[in-house]
Structure 1
Amino acid sequence: MRQRLRALSSDRLLLALIAATAGLAVWYATGPSSRTVQVVTAWVFIASMHACLIWITRSFTRTPGLPAPILRFWRAVLVGAIAYLAGDLAQVVLAATQPGLPSAATGGTIRTATLSAGSAWLLLALLASPLGLATRRARLRFWLDVATVMVAAVVVGWYLVAPDRPADLLSAAAPVLTGPVILLLCVFAVAKLTMSGTALFTRACAVIGTTAAAIKAGADLLICDGLDPRRLHWFLAMTIAANAGLTIAARVTQMQLARNPLALDGPRVRRPYSLLPYGAIVVTYGLLTVAIWRNEAATVPIALTGAAISTLLVVLRQLDAFHENAQLLAKLHCSLDQRETLAARLQHQAFHDGLTGLPNRQLYSHRLDAALAAGAPAVVMLIDLDDFKLVNDAHGHAAGDHLLKVIADRMRACVRSSDTVSRIGGDEFAVLLSSLPGDDALEIAARIVREIEAPVPVDGGAARVGASVGIAFARPGPAGHLPDGEALLREADHAMYAVKRDGKGSYAVSPG
Structure 2
Amino acid sequence: MSQRVPAVRRTFHLVAAVLLASAGVGWVLTSFCSPWAAPLWGWAPPVASAAVAASACWSTAESPALARTGRRFWRRVGVAIGVIGCGGVTSAIDWLGGADHPTLHNRPGTLTLYVLGVLILLFALLRLPNKSSLSRSQRRRFLLDMAIVMTTTGLFTWYLSFRQVERWSTLTGWAAAAMATLLLGFAATVAFSRVALTGSGPADPQALRVLGMTAAVGAFVGSLSPLMQNSPHLNNAMLSIPCTALVMVFAADRQRRAAAGAAGRAAGPPRAYSVVPYLAVAATDVLLLATTYHREGEAVIVALCAVVITGVVVYRQITVLADNARLLRRVDASMRDLRQAQGQLAHQAHHDSLTGLTNRRLFEQRVQGSLTAGEAFSVALIDLDDFKIINDRLGHGAGDALLMTVGQRLQECLGPEHVVARLGGDEFAVLLTGVSTTDASPDLDRIVAALRRPISVIGQELSVGSSIGVADGAPGIAPAEVMRRADLAMYAAKGRGKNRYARYDRELERHANKEARLAADLRLALGRGEFCLVYQPVVALPHGRPVGGEALVRWRHPDRGLVPPSEFIGVAERTGVIVALGSWVLREACRAASGWLASPAAASGPWRLSVNISARQLREPTFAAEVAAVLAETGLPPERLVAEVTETAVFDNEPAVAALTTLRGLGVSIALDDFGTGHSSLGLLRTIPATVLKVDKSFVDNIAGAEEEVIATAMLQLANGLRMDAVAEGVETSAQADRLHQLGYRQAQGFYFYRPVGAADMGALLAGTAAIAATSPGAASTQ
Which structure carries more helix by proportion? 1
Please report the TM-score for the alignment, with normalisation by the length of structure 2.
0.35
Which structure carries more strand by proportion? 2
More relative contact order in 1 or in 2 (CA 8 Å, sep 6+)? 1
